[in-house]
């Protein structure tokens, strides 16, 4: 499918899983009704609460949240990137995992976040994700009729080597479900999304959390869809909602043909 509509869903998730899933379902249905064939949800979309409660609120695959998203993808007959949720692991630290479902509701790819967000910004934000979550190890792409999708999550955006590996594996559309904090988002969110699109000549669909997180800091919002030339073609702004844009794989091929930078890489 050379041309289709994709959507990024922006949410303000909290500790009420049922509410989060209901809100996500309503926004996905809205996106599908507006013509979206691929919908990307934000990071930690199903449950977001106090850090010391993360392990007890993790879930297996399959589990209630993945079952709900699979059913939603099947109902709407679209591809749904679940964003991410806390996947139960064999240790006390769950994975931060993104799941991709096809229009039949089949889980076709899952990705465990590799880069864990540890940051201390005085008087602004303090997060040590590595104390609570286990890192993944695998680079994940999924070949679909909509193009080859490359999976990533939030802090991964700062590590260009991951996205180069995704593009070398055939990725054409990079999915970046996120929960970017306000200070880092204000400084770097758009720049990083556009950079990953430009250097890999890919579309980027970056769905972000918005509002105030249960941890007390503000999220950036401003979910973006960026084309392979680095132009922002969809922007959500503030608040919960849906942003849509056209994915044009013929245009992507033309960008790569006319500026064949990916074929010139020597490292």
Burial of 199 from C-beta contacts in 10 A (0-12 / 13-18 / 19+): middle
Site of tokens 């960026």: 226
Active-site hit among 76, 99, 154, 202: 154
Backbone torsions φ then ψ of 7, nearest 5 degrees: -135, 145
How many angstroms separate the CA atoms of 110 and 151, rounded? 8
Which tokens belong to 30? 């809205």
In this structure, the number of other CB atoms found within 10 A of the CB of residue 116 comes to: 21
Q: Please, where are the H alpha helices in the chain?
A: 17-33, 64-76, 160-168, 182-184, 190-200, 249-258, 261-264
**Residue 154 appears among annotated catalytic residues:** yes
**Residue 113 appears among annotated catalytic residues:** yes
How many angstroms separate the CA atoms of 134 and 232, rounded? 33
Q: How far is CA 142 from the centre of its chain?
A: 14
**Residue 99 appears among annotated catalytic residues:** no
Q: How far is CA 264 from the centre of its chain?
A: 28
Active-site hit among 113, 129, 172, 202: 113
Cis geometry, peptide bond prior to residue 62 (ω within 30 degrees of 0):
yes
Active site amino acids: 43, 113, 154
């Amino acid at each position: 499918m050379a041309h289709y509509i994709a959507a990024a869903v922006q949410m303000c998730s909290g500790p009420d899983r049922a509410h989060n899933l209901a809100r996500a379902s309503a926004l996905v249905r809205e996106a599908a009704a507006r013509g979206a064939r691929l919908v990307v949800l934000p990071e930690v979309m199903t449950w977001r609460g106090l850090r010391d409660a993360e392990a007890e609120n993790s879930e297996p695959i399959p589990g209630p949240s993945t079952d709900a998203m699979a059913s939603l993808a099947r109902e709407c007959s679209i591809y749904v990137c679940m964003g991410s949720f806390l996947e139960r692991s064999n240790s006390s630290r769950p994975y931060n995992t993104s799941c991709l479902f096809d229009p039949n509701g089949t889980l076709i790819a899952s990705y465990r976040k590799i880069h864990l967000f540890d940051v201390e910004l005085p008087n602004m934000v303090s997060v040590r994700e590595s104390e609570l979550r286990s890192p993944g190890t695998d680079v994940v792409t999924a070949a679909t009729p909509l193009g080859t999708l490359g999976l990533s999550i939030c802090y991964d955006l700062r590590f260009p080597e991951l996205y180069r590996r995704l593009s070398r594996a055939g990725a054409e559309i990079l999915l970046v479900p996120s929960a970017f904090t306000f200070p880092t988002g204000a400084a770097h969110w758009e720049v990083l999304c556009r950079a990953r699109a430009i250097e890999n000549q890919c579309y980027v669909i970056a769905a972000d959390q918005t509002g105030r997180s249960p941890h007390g800091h503000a999220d950036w919002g401003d979910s973006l869809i960026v084309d392979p030339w680095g132009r922002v073609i969809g922007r959500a702004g503030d608040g919960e909602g849906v942003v849509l844009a056209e994915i044009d794989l013929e245009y992507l091929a033309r960008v790569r043909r006319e500026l064949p930078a990916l074929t010139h890489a020597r490292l």
